[in-house]
Amino acid sequence: MRPEILYPLFAPVTTLPGVGPRFAKLIERLAGREVASLCWHLPSGIIDRRFSPKLAAAPVGAIVTLTLTVDAHLPPANRRHPYKVRCRDETGFVHLVFFHARPEYLARVLPEGATRVVSGKLERFGAELQMTHPDHIVTPAEGERLRAVEPVYPMTAGLPSKTLLKAVEGALDRLPALPEWIEPSYLKRRGWLPWREALLAAHRPQSEADLAPEAPARQRLAFDELLANQLALALVRAQQRRLPGRRIEGDGRLRQKAVAALPFALTGSQRQALAEIAADMASPSRMLRLLQGDVGSGKTVVALLAMLNAVETGAQAALLAPTEILARQHHKTIAPLAEAAGVELALLTGRDKGKARSRLLERLADGQTALAVGTHALFQEDVTFRDLALVVIDEQHRFGVHQRLALAEKGRAADVLVMTATPIPRTLMLTAYGDLDVSRLTEKPAGRQPIDTRTLPLDRLDEVVAAVERAIRQGARVYWVCPLVEESEAIDIAAAADRHAHLVRRFGARVGLVHGRLKGAEKDAAMVAFAEGRTDILVATTVIEVGVDVPEATVMVIEHAERFGLAQLHQLRGRIGRGTGRSTCLLLYQAPLGETAKARLRIMRETEDGFRIAEEDLRLRGAGELLGTRQSGLPVFRLADLSVHGELLAAARDDARLIVERDPTLMGPRGSALRTLLYLFERDAVVKTVRSG
Ligand code: ADP
Ligand code: MG
């Protein structure tokens, strides 16, 4: 249960002053649903309202805070003109100017003869000084508070900045003083404030420097968030390590047969990865290893050979894919090799029903089927294995941790191998998996040609179409990708359908279309038609991103390339250059491009090295945007910025490791503070497992 001290922070934002249902929706979109989320919404700028000159000395164009006497209201002759209020101090006059004014309101806040403190930008209109729509009008008593450095928050349309300021103030008023979870000597060395004071300081910047991610208050908050992340991962990991594992050490006879049936030799990094995996499997503790390799680097073969290692000992192995298309593709790659090894292989997807499915499940349950490839259908409750010893999970970031565990549960102390084509930089890897063992496939299989990547503005579409036509005449097959933006799948699908219609008018029926709204069978049919060469062009939304293999495809056109994350572009581009023909990738962008966008597309032209691309993308855009979309499943940080806080992440990792070593149940003196930290950043699930474990 969440500690009581945190209750005020997890109340809905509607409990804050001035926040009704309408503003709550906007705040939710901007920051989040709960009070805590507003606490994490840090200022992005400042306005200095301390400057309080007399009118005669006030510089035009500056933000000034003036003490004025209200002289006279000057309503306009007609509605097109603004309402003016003339004010003065002992040195001069100024007009406060209001468009679309409400006279009753102005009479109330600026009564004639009264003294008011007014803050805003001073302008000149002809010979007169004026201030249009002052930011603040308050009484002299309130004026003192106003003469300060005001934080400016990232905004969203429709939410008045004053409403947001007030809501944040309300949230900060509720901050409890929390027990210190940072190790005292580290806290002292860094010179950080306690949590509450640090959060208040971060919301009350006194200078531009206080806004930087390197500012001490921001560093402390970032560290807290990273520590929660690392501690949660370390606890889960420690728990997995405590579970008994088993030694899996096959005699190699099945692997030999499969390797003999391969039409190519394994690359050095495939062999190295296999050795690392075999060593993990042979050790008595459970394997949790990530196999990372670019699209086309040959992960599937590695997976199969690891699986056969398990089968050689009489056990079973399963390979889990995120989509049906991918499951089928893996099955297709693996089937001839399994056959060569004389091992029974099953494919299980959501489409299997009735008698056929029951027969398949029986053979898995009694162990006659040694290898299973499938989608999440493999998780279903009635699926049982006689002795599942290895689970391989492809493209794991699309699966939640829970699903990963659910499949491992079906086994007896099963080893887990996770495969990903996402070239996650080391820093991000840490936040997503903690200290995970990693094998990397860094070599491209022999015979692959480099891809020629070019960038073009979208208004040169006609040239692109002409180039595609030439390529097709020479026998090329072409992917044409239209972007999928999260906000509106419907609009994007319409765009893809339009492009499809446009290309059909030009090329006739040999143009296919796939997108996320198609049924599984329709999607497969379009993919298969393209793979078998019955269509020359496949128009697609990003559904083709996940590793579908058509070695004959040598051209890829990507529209609005500037909207994609680099990792995503890299994955898409990896769909071509898989055969031995020369491949070309055309990145079409909407001009004009900003500096960052230009730099990003330049990287795509310069390199095919996924790790370099990922590191550069992290540097250019920050972690939040790295994979283009939130669906990546990587953790999203509110306070930490991994492009600058890498050193804090390393410190948090080391700290988490020590904590788990010394106090794995968090029962020691620092433990309860750390539990509060985990709840604060909503890692509750982990706290539960700690208690039960
Ligand atoms: P990934 O899953 O890493 O994207 P795959 O395992 O699907 O890559 O392999 C891509 C293609 O490369 C497949 O057709 C596979 O048979 C082939 N391949 C795998 N390893 C090698 C190798 N060592 N040499 C040549 N081709 C290979
Ligand atoms: Mg693959």
Tell me, what's the pLDDT at 622? Answer: 60
Over residues 196-219, the mean pLDDT reads: 97
Q: State yes or no: pLDDT of 610 exceeds 50.
A: yes
Q: Whose CA is nearest to atom 24 of ligand 1?
A: 445
The pLDDT score that the predictor gives to residue 489 is 62
* Closest Cα to atom 15 of ligand 1: 298
Interval between CA 382 and ligand 2 midpoint (Å): 28
Local structure of 77: helix, strand or coil? coil
pLDDT for residue 408: 62
Q: Looking at the CA of residue 297, tell me the nearest atom of ligand 1.
A: 3
The residue whose C-alpha atom lies closest to atom 17 belonging to ligand 1 is 298
Does residue 620 surpass a pLDDT of 90?
Answer: no
> What percent of the chain clears pLDDT 90, i.e. is strictly above it?
63
**Confidence bin at 693 (pLDDT 50/70/90):** very low
Rounded Cα distance between 52 and 58, Å, is 8
Burial class (CB in 10 A: 0-12, 13-18, 19+), 292: buried
pLDDT at 368 over 70: yes
Q: Where are the beta strands (DSSP E) in 340-434?
A: 345-348, 371-374, 388-394, 415-420
Task: Provide the CA 590 distance to its chain's centre, in angstroms.
Answer: 23
Ligand 2 centroid distance, CA of 442 (Å):
15
Q: Which residues of 116-126 are buried (b: 16+ CB within 10 A; e: fewer)?
A: bbbbbebeeee
Q: What is the mean pLDDT of residues 572-591?
A: 88
Judge whether residue 623 has pLDDT over 60.
Answer: no
Q: What is the mean pLDDT of residues 128-143?
A: 95
Which residues partner with 478 through β-bridges?
A: 537, 555
Domains of the chain listed by start with CATH number: 4-46+153-211 (no CATH), 50-147 (2.40.50.140), 253-441 (3.40.50.300), 451-607 (3.40.50.300)
- 619 CA from centroid of ligand 2 (Å): 27
CA–CA separation, 31 and 196 (whole Å): 19
d(CA 206, CA 176): 23
Distances in whole angstroms, Cα of residue 51 to Cα of each of 64, 77, 180, 228, 474: 5, 35, 38, 41, 72
User: 510: pLDDT confidence band, cut at 50, 70 and 90?
Assistant: very high
Q: Across the strands, what pairs with 34?
A: 12
Radius of gyration of the chain (CA): 31
- Distance, in Å, from the CA atom of 603 to the CA atom of 587, rounded to the nearest integer, reads 12
Nearest CA to ligand 1 atom 25: 445
Is there a contact between 408 and 391 (Cβ–Cβ < 8 Å)?
yes
Q: Report the pLDDT value the prediction gives residue 492, as an integer from 0 to 100.
A: 66
Q: 3-class SS at 11?
A: coil
* 481 three-state secondary structure: strand
Say which DSSP state 574 is in.
T
Query: What pLDDT, on the 0 to 100 scale, is given for residue 487?
Result: 55
Nearest protein CA to atom 11 of ligand 1, as residue: 296
User: For residue 299, which atom of ligand 1 is closest to its CA?
Assistant: 3
Query: Is residue 125 classed as helix, strand or coil in its secondary structure?
Result: strand
Q: Which helix (H) or strand (E) holds 116?
A: strand 115-121
Strand order in the sheet with 388-394: 345-348, 371-374, 316-320, 388-394, 415-420, 288-293, 437-441
Smallest CA separation from ligand 1 atom 9, residue:
298
Cα distance between residue 597 and residue 86, in whole Å: 48
Per-residue model confidence as pLDDT tens digits over 513-524: 988 778 878 888
Measured CA to CA, the distance from residue 630 to residue 613 in angstroms comes to: 19
For atom 10 of ligand 1, the residue with the nearest CA is 296
Q: Residue 614 is encoded by which pair of tokens?
A: 């990922």
- 655-662 long-range Cβ contacts below 8 angstroms, 24+ apart: 655/183, 655/186, 655/227, 655/230, 655/231, 656/227, 656/230, 656/231, 656/233, 656/234, 656/434, 657/234, 657/435, 659/231, 659/234, 660/231, 660/234, 660/235, 660/237, 660/238
Write out residues with Cβ below 6 Å of ligand 1. Answer: 264, 266-267, 270, 293, 295-301, 333, 421, 445-446, 547, 549
| Cα–Cα distance, 202 to 606 (Å, whole number) | 40
Q: For strand 115-121 and strand 136-138, is the pairing parallel, antiparallel, or unpaired? A: antiparallel
pTM: 0.69
Q: Which atom of ligand 1 is nearest to the CA of 447?
A: 25
Residue 272's DSSP bridge partners are none
424 within 8 A of 292, measured Cβ to Cβ: yes
Residue 375: DSSP 8-state: S
CA of 88 to the centre of ligand 2 (A): 75
d(CA 336, CA 321) in angstroms, rounded, equals: 19
The closest of 594, 540, 546, 584 to 567, measured between CA atoms, is 546
Rounded mean pLDDT, 2-30:
94
- Comparing C-alpha atoms, which of 169, 166, 173 is closest to residue 8? 173
Cα-based distances in Å from 689 to 152, 237, 239: 41, 11, 8
Kindly give the distance from the C-alpha atom of residue 153 to the centroid of ligand 2, in angstroms, as a whole number: 44
DSSP assignment string, 535-557: -SEEEE-GGGGTT---TTEEEEE
Q: What are phi and psi of 347, to 5 degrees?
A: -115, 125
How many C-beta neighbours within 10 Å does residue 253 have? 11
Pick 398 or 466 by higher pLDDT.
Answer: 466
Q: What is the Cα–Cα distance from 433 to 210, expressed in whole angstroms?
A: 32
Confidence (pLDDT) at 631: 41
Torsion of CA 426, 430, 431, 437, to 10 degrees: 120
Confidence of residue 548 (pLDDT cuts 50, 70, 90): low
- Other Cβ atoms closer than 10 A to 395: 22
Higher pLDDT, 520 or 348: 348
- Of the candidates 563, 225, 587, 631, the residue with the CA atom closest to the CA atom of residue 422: 631
Query: What's the 334 CA to ligand 1 centre distance in angstroms?
Result: 11
Q: What is the pLDDT of residues 624-683, one digit of tens each?
A: 444 433 444 566 789 998 888 989 999 999 999 999 999 999 998 899 999 999 999 988
Q: Alpha-carbon distance 269 to 275, whole Å?
A: 10
Which ligand gives the minimal distance to the CA of 301?
A: 1
> Identity (one letter) of the amino acid at 45?
G
- Residue 31 pLDDT exceeds 50: yes
Counting ligands in written order, which one lies closest to the CA of residue 333? 1
Tell me, in angstroms, the distance from the centre of ligand 2 to residue 299's CA: 6
